[in-house]
Amino acid sequence: MAKCKVERCHHPVSELSLDGCCIFHTEAGKIKGYEKGKPVFIKPDERDEKSKGIVQEFVSQFSRLLEQRKNDKGILVCDEFIFPALIKQEWDEIWRPVKSGYIINLDFSVSFIGANFGGVAYFIGAKFGGEASFSEANFGGVAYFIRANFGGVANFSEANFGGKAYFIGAKFGGEADFIGANFGGEADFRWANFGGEAYFSWANFGGEANFSNTIVNLRGIFRNAKFHKEADFTNAIVKLLDFTRCEIFSFMRMRETNRMSDEQKEEIENRIKELASPEDKFSESEKSILEWALKLVEENVPPIILLRDLRFWENGHLILEDFDVSLTSFWQTNFHIIRPRIDLIRVDWKDKVIIDDIFKRPKESENFTEENKLIYGPIESLNKRKQAEEIERCYRQIRLAYEARGEYPDAGDFYLLEMDARKIKLNDVFLLCLHYLYAWVSNYGESISRAFGWLIGVFLVSTILFAFAGFSHQKETFRLLPQFDISNILGTLKILLASSVAIINAITLGRMEIYAPENIWGSVIFYSARIFGLIILTLLLLAIRRRFRR
């Protein structure tokens, strides 16, 4: 019997096909034409007698393939198969040889590389014992992988989901590869558990992306991904999420990351008890993932989230809410294009130091040895000045985000860190001295009381010293003697009052001739009071101006 003309296909040519292909690769009775290069499948209610015959033979032959693989445990190769638009009853008939109750037991490796699913793809409750490859597969309708269990590598790289993709409660025991995948509709990964690495780099999310309550045991990599609609990571339990160079077209929300409600904890604890004696590798994998997630929450470990070099489109916006963002990176991201693009709502900061600040890096960061290269590589590749410039910019972005929400105490804290980072890049000694003076006198303009205290201090010290040095005013000489005469209190007060007026005159740039010093020490004190008093007064006015600008 003639073999299918498709390369590497060993199935015989179907008598119902007219294109020299087997029942799995033929387009006859499945596709009615093409629009813009994409196949248009025959819907179940559009089938003629020939199409019905093709579908019946397809279901029968595929079911027979499953029966063979069930017995010999070999790999099920379905590369470039063309699945007609099937209804649920037909999918049930396909899975009949490997179905037990609600579970589809695929205890062998499967390969659907380049497969074309014309309608609904029904894999609810499927258990993949080996590697499952759907690379470059095309899902024309809804793809159901609800509660699917992948024991090995799950490869969906460059897969195209034309409709909604449901991976609710799916469990990935090994690596999950969605690199370059295209989600035309909603991508729903709620309650999914990723035991290995989860790769979504260059993925395109055309619809809503829902990763709420998802557990990512190792790393979730979303580099260069595009989120066209809302992306939700509420209550996700993660070790590391990398969103470097992502494009955000709508809202992305991260809320209560690495946190659980009491009900969630109780539910997970009960599930762990159910899995106390794992029956198979699937149960054992799920148990270890849940135990890890529970431990992470109980130890209050903050997630590592890399929000680096993000691109915000017109309606792009990021919300971080109700979790510890101490290990969140803002490296090279501009959150203030035209308007603020980030909201920081009730977030926690440990010491209010970002993970990017290698000059004030928390000691805990040393524990993340596996991620060191990923986290700190881009930072440590720069020279010290460039590092300081970028860290300063990151703190400025956070400060502006708080100022936009009117949360000025938090904004002030990050303004201080911004100024500390600016100090590191200063090479000029004079500018560095002014910077330190600005910090000492007014806490970088954040403390009016400190600046006022310094001004009063300079005024009082200068007044007393100038009175001891002596000065003349309107042909009258004023000088405090080294020993005070208690009986002449009024005279002492008169001298101090005159001296205070002289110092005020000095600070306000008055003429020295009005209060002429008697000696060189008086001149030194007068001009010192003028210089330092004027500087401190200026810094005080700047602090007042900064306060009122808010």
Euclidean distance between CA atoms 213 and 33, whole angstroms = 41
- Identify the DSSP state of 517: E
Of the candidates 95, 177, 167, the one whose C-alpha atom is nearest the C-alpha of residue 131 is 177
Phi, psi (rounded to 5 degrees) for 396: -65, -40
- Indicate the CATH number for domain 448-549: 1.10.287
Residue 548 has pLDDT above 80, yes or no: no
Cβ contact 536:451 at 8 Å: yes
Instruction: Specify the pLDDT at position 363.
Output: 46
The answer to whether 206 touches 229, Cβ cutoff 8 Å, is: yes
Confidence of residue 353 (pLDDT cuts 50, 70, 90): confident
SS (HEC) of 11-39:
CECCCCCCCCCCCCCCCCCCEEEEECCEE
In the DSSP assignment, the letter for residue 256 is S
Asked whether the predicted pLDDT for residue 91 surpasses 80, the reply is yes
Q: What is the DSSP letter of 3?
A: B
Helices (H) and strands (E) in the chain, counts: 11, 41
pLDDT confidence band for 122 (50 / 70 / 90)? very high
The two most distant CA atoms of the chain are separated, in Å, by 131
What average pLDDT does range 319-327 have in this prediction? 89
Q: Check whether 18 has a pLDDT greater than 70.
A: yes
Burial of 483: CB neighbours in 10 Å, binned 0-12, 13-18, 19+: exposed
Which of 12-16, 163-167, 216-220 has maximum average pLDDT?
163-167
Q: CA angle at residue 242 from 271 to 244, to 5 degrees?
A: 160
The answer to whether the beta carbons of residues 205 and 227 sit under 8 Å apart is yes
Distance in angstroms (rounded) separating the CA atoms of residues 465 and 305: 58
DSSP state letter for 405: T
Q: What is the pLDDT of residue 369?
A: 58
What order do you get walking across the sheet with 226-227 strand by strand?
Answer: 82-83, 116-117, 138-139, 160-161, 182-183, 204-205, 226-227, 247-248, 311-312
Please, which pLDDT band fits residue 359 given cuts at 50, 70 and 90?
A: confident
Q: What is the mean pLDDT of the chain?
A: 85
Residue 188 has pLDDT above 70, yes or no: yes
Residue 454: per-residue pLDDT: 84
User: Higher model confidence: residue 241 or residue 447?
Assistant: 241
Helix/strand/coil for 534 = helix
Instruction: Tell me how far apart the alpha carbons of residues 440 and 516 are, in angstroms, rounded to a whole number.
Output: 32
143-158 pLDDT, tens digit per residue, is: 999 999 998 999 999 9
**For residue 274, pLDDT beyond 70:** yes
pLDDT(203) > 90: yes
Identify the CA nearest to 496 among candidates 471, 532, 523. Answer: 471
Amino acid 467: pLDDT: 80
d(CA 458, CA 475): 27
Question: 498 — alpha (psi -120 to 50), left (phi > 0) or beta?
Answer: alpha
Q: What span, in angstroms and rounded, lies between the C-alpha atoms of 174 and 428?
A: 55
Can you give the pLDDT at residue 177? Answer: 97
Dist CA 518 CA 506 (whole Å): 15
**Cα separation of 445 and 408, whole Å?**
13
Q: Which of 207-221, 337-351, 422-436 holds the top average pLDDT?
A: 207-221
Among the listed residues 141, 237, 140, 256, the one whose alpha carbon sits nearest the alpha carbon of residue 198 = 237
> How many CB atoms within 10 Å of residue 544?
15
pLDDT the model gives residue 459: 85
Instruction: Summarize pLDDT for 276-302 with one digit per residue, the tens.
Output: 766 666 777 777 888 878 888 887 888
pLDDT at 364: 47
Compute the distance between CA of residue 523 and CA of residue 44 in angstroms, rounded to an integer: 102
Please give the sequence-ordered ranges of beta strands (E in DSSP) within 388-497, or none if there are none: 471-473, 476-478
Q: What are phi and psi of 239, to 5 degrees?
A: -95, -45
Please tell me what DSSP assigns to residue 234: T
Q: How confident is the model at residue 520 (pLDDT cuts 50, 70, 90)?
A: confident
CA angle, 257 as apex, 350 and 189 as ends, to 5°? 160
Q: Averaged over 69-89, what is the pLDDT?
A: 87
Least confident of 255-264, 279-288, 334-343: 279-288
Place of tokens 């990571």: 233
Whole-number pLDDT of residue 486: 54
Least confident piece of the model among 86-100, 165-179, 339-353: 339-353
What is the mean predicted confidence (pLDDT) over 526-541?
Answer: 83
CB 181 within 8 A of CB 138: no
pLDDT value of position 365:
46
- The residue with tokens 């025991």 is 173
Opening angle at CA 328, ends 324 and 333, nearest 5? 140
Decide: pTM greater than 0.95. Answer: no
Which of the four pLDDT bands, split at 50, 70 and 90, describes residue 461?
A: confident
pLDDT digit string (tens) for 410-443? 888 888 888 888 888 887 788 888 888 877 888 7
CA-closest candidate to residue 343, choices 413, 397, 421: 397
- Please state the rounded mean pLDDT for residues 203-213: 95
Inform me whether the pLDDT recorded for 182 exceeds 80. yes
Higher pLDDT, 113 or 478: 113
